[in-house]
């Protein structure tokens, strides 16, 4: 400003008075009206410096930039740095969860990089997860140690993400082929690598909710068949491995056991007795062929050996038609039983149930689907599964 303008222009005196009183925005408005853009920008920059509210500071500094002419390089750079640092500081505290927060931090990163504040620009890019941009800034700023650390972290992240993608693909393939244990193992590893991934956690939870452990019940050609690896097994109205309902059935009525390599049946002191061909059972009776057991007078069961297991079919009573297939676990905890009515075996262990078609593939129809794919070999059963083995439809009973 010229000396005479300072002396005679009342706006100059008012602007300087406002500035002295700390009314920087009023001073800026007066300077702007006189065309003094540098002074207007300077006053607005001071307004931002004095403001206590974060948004108010940013707004004042942005206004200062709009007044500073392009030739005021040093002044513009100083304000750019203030804006970038203020946004970065806020983001370190609050994070960058929303799209708007990410936009603001990206703007701060650009301002800081443009102002040659490379280390702080790298900090902003790292908050955004933009590792390559952060690496560029660290290289420009000569931050060798930080750059090496970042590159090592980036390589580790890339390797982890590649591993996760591979595991997800392996899970999908194993699931389609019936190897649900491998699918579950892949998902568990994904969740351990990325515990923050809610989608993967939900996929694992849904898979484990469908998991089957013995005893299980299948519909084989429409007939209900219950499989268990519990021997000895108590037959009774309740508190039993084989539950059979009837008014004459005791809570723990009779027992099927395997002794010296053969199956035997004995009464457990039931109220109404256990009958074999109409005669009361006393002691342990070997099961060497088909037996007709009467549990009191209103329930009868056919008992017969079946390969490595034994079958109990309810002939009379509330559970008429229900077939139980029982077996004993081997030393490794595995029990393999034939599936009545289908060309298949079922393997029960502590981890679940596996069905294996014999000599042919099966069509595995996933839960909720109307058709599936042909699968050869072992299939881990899940709730909701449907298989077609030959002409026989096998469903996991609800």
pLDDT tens string 256-294: 998 888 899 999 999 999 999 889 998 899 999 999 999
How far apart are the C-alpha atoms of 392 and 398, rounded to whole Å?
18
288 and 168 part of one domain: no
pTM beyond cutoff 0.75: no
- Conformational region of residue 344, where left means phi above 0, alpha means psi within -120 to 50, and beta covers everything else: beta
13-22, 183-192, 198-207: which range is least confident on average? 13-22
Give the tokens for residue 376: 């050869």
- Please report whether residue 120 resides in a domain: no
220 and 204 part of one domain: no
Q: Which of 186, 209, 232 is the last residue of a domain?
A: 209
- Please report whether residue 227 resides in a domain: yes
Residue 102 has pLDDT above 90, yes or no: yes
Q: Are strands 285-286 and 291-295 parallel, antiparallel or unpaired?
A: unpaired
276 and 163 part of one domain: no
191 and 333 part of one domain: no
| pLDDT (0 to 100) of residue 9 | 60
175 and 220 part of one domain: no
- Please report whether residue 78 resides in a domain: no
Domain assignment of residue 184, given as a range: 148-209
169 and 240 part of one domain: no
Q: In this predicted model, which residue has the larger pLDDT, 12 or 374? A: 374
Confidence of residue 7 (pLDDT cuts 50, 70, 90): very low
Residue 352 has pLDDT above 50, yes or no: yes
221 and 347 part of one domain: yes
Instruction: Provide the β-strand partners of residue 216.
Output: 227
How far apart are the C-alpha atoms of 204 and 188, rounded to whole Å?
7
Element (H, E) at 36: none
178 and 237 part of one domain: no
Residue 4 has pLDDT above 80, yes or no: no
Provide the angle, in degrees to the nearest 10, between the axes of the packed helices 54-67 and 24-33. Answer: 20
Domain count, the chain: 2
Whose CA is closest to 364, among 377, 352, 347, 351?
A: 377
pLDDT tens string 288-328: 999 999 998 899 999 999 888 999 999 999 999 999 999 88
- Please report whether residue 28 resides in a domain: no
203 and 300 part of one domain: no
Phi and psi for 261 in degrees, rounded to 5? Answer: 80, 10
- Please report whether residue 355 resides in a domain: yes
Residue 42 has pLDDT above 50, yes or no: yes
Q: Which of 209, 239, 259 is the last residue of a domain?
A: 209
In whole numbers, what is the pLDDT of the chain averaged over residues? 91
Residue 5 has pLDDT above 70, yes or no: no
301 and 344 part of one domain: yes
Mean local confidence (pLDDT), 350-377: 88
Torsion of CA 10, 11, 12, 14, to 10 degrees: 90
Give the tokens for residue 170: 């392996």
159 and 287 part of one domain: no
Q: Which of 174, 190, 209 is the last residue of a domain?
A: 209
CATH number of 236's domain: 2.60.200.20
- CA angle at residue 324 from 318 to 327, to 5 degrees? 155
- Please report whether residue 271 resides in a domain: yes
| pLDDT (0 to 100) of residue 367 | 79
How far apart are the C-alpha atoms of 311 and 295, rounded to whole Å?
16
- Please report whether residue 36 resides in a domain: no
193 and 227 part of one domain: no
- Please report whether residue 143 resides in a domain: no
């Amino acid at each position: 400003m010229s000396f005479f303008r300072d002396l005679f222009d009342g706006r100059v005196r008012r602007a300087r008075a406002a500035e002295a009183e700390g009314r920087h925005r009023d001073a800026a408005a007066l300077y702007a009206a006189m065309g003094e853009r540098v002074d207007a920008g300077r006053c607005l920059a001071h307004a931002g410096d004095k403001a206590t509210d974060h948004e108010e500071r940013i707004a004042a500094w942005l206004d200062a930039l709009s007044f500073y002419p392009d030739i005021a390089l040093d002044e513009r750079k100083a304000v750019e740095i203030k804006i970038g640092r203020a946004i970065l500081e806020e983001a370190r505290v609050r994070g960058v969860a929303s799209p708007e927060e990410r936009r603001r931090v990206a703007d701060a990163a650009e301002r800081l990089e443009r102002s040659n504040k490379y280390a702080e620009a790298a900090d902003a890019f790292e908050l955004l997860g933009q590792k390559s941009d952060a690496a560029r800034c660290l290289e420009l700023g000569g931050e060798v140690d930080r750059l090496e650390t970042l590159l090592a972290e980036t390589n580790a992240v890339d390797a982890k993400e590649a591993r996760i993608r591979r595991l997800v693909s392996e899970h999908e393939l194993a699931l389609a082929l019936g190897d649900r244990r491998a699918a579950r193992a892949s998902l568990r590893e994904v969740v351990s690598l990325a515990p923050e991934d809610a989608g993967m956690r939900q996929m694992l939870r849904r898979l484990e909710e469908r998991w089957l452990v013995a005893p299980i019940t299948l519909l084989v050609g429409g007939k209900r068949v219950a499989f268990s690896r519990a021997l000895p097994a108590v037959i009774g109205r309740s508190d039993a491995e084989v539950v059979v309902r009837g008014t004459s059935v005791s809570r723990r009525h009779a027992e099927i056991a395997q002794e010296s390599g053969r199956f035997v049946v004995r009464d457990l002191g039931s109220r109404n007795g256990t009958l074999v061909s109409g005669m009361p059972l006393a002691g342990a009776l070997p099961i060497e062929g088909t037996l007709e057991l009467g549990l009191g007078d209103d329930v009868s069961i056919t008992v017969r050996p079946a390969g490595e297991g034994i079958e109990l079919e309810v002939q009379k009573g509330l559970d008429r038609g229900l077939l139980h297939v029982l077996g004993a676990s081997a030393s490794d905890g595995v029990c393999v039983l034939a599936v009545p009515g289908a060309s298949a075996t079922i393997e029960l262990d502590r981890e679940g149930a596996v069905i294996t078609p014999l000599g042919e593939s099966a069509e595995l129809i996933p839960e909720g689907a109307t058709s599936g794919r042909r699968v050869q070999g072992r299939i881990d059963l899940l709730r909701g599964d449907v298989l077609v083995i030959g002409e026989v439809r096998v469903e996991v009973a609800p």
